[in-house]
Amino acid sequence: MNKIKLMRQAQQLQEKLQKAQQELEKATVEASSGGGAVTVVITGKQQVQSVKISPEAADDREMLEDLVLTAVNEALRKSQELATNRLSALTSGLKIPGLT
């Protein structure tokens, strides 16, 4: 493989990765805990967009804290999984630090 072809492929991969990262900024995942008492929405870039708490969950502060923690952690896990799946599809399974 010559250097020009390799450079062209690297440029194309970089463009695809930038597009995928922009899409991840817009993509969201949702997680809930306590049977829907707490719902968290987070982007593919691990930014929390919203936290919704049902009125019933607000009665018990300790339980509410646990439900929020559980929902946020689950949403983060889903967001990381989404990012890994989208980016690894582009890199064909290559282990590139910071991208997978």
Domains of the chain: 30-93 (3.30.1310.10)
Q: What is the pTM of this model?
A: 0.72
Categorise residue 92: left if φ over 0, alpha if ψ from -120 to 50, beta otherwise: left
Spatial separation of the C-alpha atoms in residues 2 and 91, rounded to whole Å: 20
**Which pLDDT score is estimated for 94?**
57
**One-letter identity of residue 13:** L
**Which pLDDT score is estimated for 40?**
96
**Which pLDDT score is estimated for 100?**
47
Residue tagged 């890199």 (tokens): 91
Q: Are 25 and 82 in contact (CB under 8 A)?
A: no
Question: How far are the Cα atoms of 36, 48, 85 from residue 92, in angstroms, in the given order?
Answer: 37, 29, 10
Per-residue pLDDT 10s for the chain (100 aa) are 578 887 888 888 888 888 888 888 889 999 999 999 999 999 988 899 999 999 988 889 999 999 999 999 999 999 999 888 888 777 665 555 555 4
**Which pLDDT score is estimated for 96?**
55
